[in-house]
Each structure stands twice: as C-alpha cells, then as structure tokens.
C-alpha cells in the first residue's frame, strides 16, 4: 500500500479554511495539490498574484486557440477530422458535419463522447434513433455502429476515451440524484424513424482500429435491429439537466462539476449558478498549480467570468507545470462581488497524461495569451 507523506501544518499567517478569510496582508491564495483536487494540498497566501509574470520563454506556457477559425470543411467521416489535442488515452477533435453521412462508422479504439456546440440533427445507431440538439452530450460505447443526419451544419466536440470507457462519477455524500438524476439520461429508440431507414441496399461501415480505417461492405443496412434489452447503451445528457453543486460560503473545486469519468481523464461541465455570497469566501476560481493534470476548457456560451477576451468556440489549454487562475479584471470583480450569478457554459477536459497539440490547433493559436494576466495600466 502507498501512502502520501501528508500531515496538516501551518507556517506564518494563514487562513483556517481554504478559499476563505485570507490574512489581511495577502489577498492572493494559491493551491498546490496532488491527484487533481483529491490528494494532499497546501494553500499559500501571497502578496502578489501568482500569475504576475513579466516574461515567458520556452514551449511550456498557457495557450489559447480560436477554434472558430478552423476551416469548416465538410468531412463525411469523423475519422477524417484532424486531432487538436491528444495523448495515448484521449483524442480531442471538433467536427463540422454539414451533410448526411453516407456510411456508418464504428470506433473499435474506445468510447466516443459527442458534445453538440452548434446545430441539431438525428443520429442512427445499433440501438435506434435519437434527436440531438445544441448542448447535448451523447456517449457512444466502443464499437457501436452509427451515422448522423444534421439539420444544416452541426459543430460537434468529440472526445475519444482511447482504449477506455466513459462512466459516471461517484457522488458520495450528496447521493445518486445530485448534479443530475440518472433518470434524465435518454437512450435511442426503435421508433418509426429508425424503422424507415431499414434498407436492402448496399451500406458500408468505416471501422477505426489503431487509428487505421477499414471498410466493411454489406448488401443491406446493418442497422436493422427490431429491439434490444440490457444495460449497455448510448446515453444523451443536455447541460440544462445539470444542477450544479453550490456553496454560498466556499468556492467548490472543479472536480465538484465532474460529468463523466474515464480511465485517465475526466470531463467536467460548468453551467450557470449563483456566486458565493459569504463576505470572506473566494468568488472566482482560485489560483492553482496543475501538478498532475493538463487542463483544457472549451467555451460553449455565456460570459466566461474568470477570463478576458475569450469568446464561445475558443479553447484554453493549461498544461501541468505552472500556476494559473483568474485574469486580473475577473479577480478584481470577484473581490468587489459585482456579479451574483454566472451564466457561462463550458466543457473541461482534465487529463492525467500530457497532451500533444495538433497542427490544426497550433494554426489558430493566440500567441499573446500567455501575457493576458498582465494588469493593464
């Protein structure tokens, strides 16, 4: 058995409670922790913002990408979409789907998670038919056959759990019905629309395995199930069905907003919620080190209260190795409690293993983002 070297200790002037009631001499708190937000942690109180650097050299740095500038090429297959961020356990893509898929696809490398950023459409798979709309997550189990018929253009965030699977997080003290009740999860149906696509015409299935695509041809449409039973199925969840955990006296860590868990990463969803009201409580995300995880945030919609000049469709990427946190304007607004409610919607990917940036992402990077924490005079 392994055990952290861990024992609570206090040195100098420090608050008794993390993220609240800071010493008068310092308004900046920095958390250094392990295992995401579940391991041992120390909270430092600083006289200057931990993000107040004046120069930065080297490849390791905060990054921001404007995925609105990606070429909106209509790709008939999701397997043709370029990788934006990836590692051995996770692949992060953004797919513009404009026309009905002419072939079925099957991912033999792992589960897929779709998030509908724009548009709507109909998805047909082994399990039946389901309508997808803006704000929907859709979890597709490994080796499920499926195809999409968009109503116009759909923009879909795609996160593959390579050689892994998606599961729900443990909810602990708050119980199984907190955050979202499993009863809100929808599954495809063998409905009239599904039956209407039965066909004796030739269909092909593009199977991805080890990132290589093979094609299987059938003299009929293999989506011909008349029914099914069991406890393995794709599921749909809309962010509007998420009821976030809240505390008016304590700023909860991002892990409190976990939506899906895979073997080496988690997916969290930030949705509108009241801002902490206790006078001594921190009211913006706390400065923290990414000591064990790379952090990716995809901004879906709303006013992203901890960031300046970040619009919907953009992504920030904070690799492990440095402190990050709210921009100066957001930090000042939080201290003044100018806002009492957040209206942001964002999808966060936290990976235990370092992510590699694809060429498509680098082509739309904002190189000045690293200096966006500098206070404007």
Q: Which residues are annotated as a binding site for Fe cation?
A: 288, 294, 324
Active site residue 251: yes
Contact 63, 377 (CB under 8 A): no
| H/E element, 193 | helix 192-196
> Under DSSP, is residue 213 helix (H, G, I), strand (E, B) or coil?
strand
Give the integer Cα–Cα distance in Å for 348 and 257: 9
> Per the structure block, which two tokens stand in for 104?
């079925």
| Catalytically annotated residue among 43, 89, 96, 251 | 251
**Per-residue b or e along 176-208, where b marks 16 or more CB atoms closer than 10 Å to that residue's CB:** eeebbeeeebbebeeeeebeeeeeeeebebbbb
Q: Which residues are annotated as a binding site for homogentisate?
A: 324
Contact 120, 74 (CB under 8 A): no
- Spatial neighbors of 183 by CB under 8 A, at least 6 apart, are none
> Under DSSP, is residue 194 helix (H, G, I), strand (E, B) or coil?
helix
**CA-based nearest residue to 120, from 133, 136, 138, 111:** 133
> Per the structure block, which two tokens stand in for 35?
């295992």
Read off φ and ψ for residue 318, nearest 5 degrees: -115, 95
Tell me the catalytic residues: 251
């Amino acid at each position: 058995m392994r055990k952290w070297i861990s024992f609570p200790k206090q040195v100098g002037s420090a608050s008794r409670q993390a993220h609240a009631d800071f010493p008068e001499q310092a308004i900046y708190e920095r958390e250094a922790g392990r295992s995401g937000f579940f391991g041992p942690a120390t909270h430092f109180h600083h006289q200057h913002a931990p993000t107040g650097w004046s120069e930065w050299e080297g490849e390791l740095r905060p990054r921001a990408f404007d995925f609105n500038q990606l070429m909106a090429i209509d790709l008939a297959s999701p397997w043709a979409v370029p990788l934006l961020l990836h590692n051995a356990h996770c692949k992060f893509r953004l797919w513009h789907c404009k026309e009905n898929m002419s072939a079925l696809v099957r991912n033999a490398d792992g589960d897929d998670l779709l998030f509908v950023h724009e548009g709507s459409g109909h998805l047909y798979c082994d399990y039946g038919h389901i309508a997808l709309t803006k704000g929907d997550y859709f979890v597709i189990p490994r080796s499920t056959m499926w195809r999409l018929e968009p109503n116009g253009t759909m923009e879909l965030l795609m996160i593959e759990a390579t050689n892994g699977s998606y599961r729900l997080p443990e909810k602990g003290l708050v119980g199984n019905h907190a955050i979202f009740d499993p009863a809100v999860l929808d599954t495809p149906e063998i409905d009239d629309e599904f039956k209407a696509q039965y066909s004796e015409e030739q269909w092909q299935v593009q199977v991805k395995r080890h990132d290589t695509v093979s094609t299987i041809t059938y003299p009929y449409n293999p989506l011909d199930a008349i029914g099914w039973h069991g406890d393995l199925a794709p599921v749909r969840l809309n962010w509007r069905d998420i009821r976030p955990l809240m505390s008016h006296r304590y700023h909860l860590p991002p892990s409190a907003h976990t939506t899906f868990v895979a073997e080496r990463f988690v997916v969290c969803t930030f949705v509108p919620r009241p801002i902490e009201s206790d006078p001594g409580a921190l009211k913006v995300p706390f400065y923290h080190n990414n000591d064990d995880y790379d952090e990716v945030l995809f901004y879906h919609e709303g006013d992203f209260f901890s960031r300046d000049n970040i619009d919907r469709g953009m992504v920030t990427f904070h690799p492990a190795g440095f402190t990050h946190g709210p921009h100066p304007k957001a930090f000042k607004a939080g201290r003044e409690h100018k806002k009492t409610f957040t209206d942001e919607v964002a999808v966060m990917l936290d990976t235990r293993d370092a992510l590699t940036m694809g060429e498509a992402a680098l082509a739309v990077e904002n190189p000045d983002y690293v200096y966006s924490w500098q206070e404007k005079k």
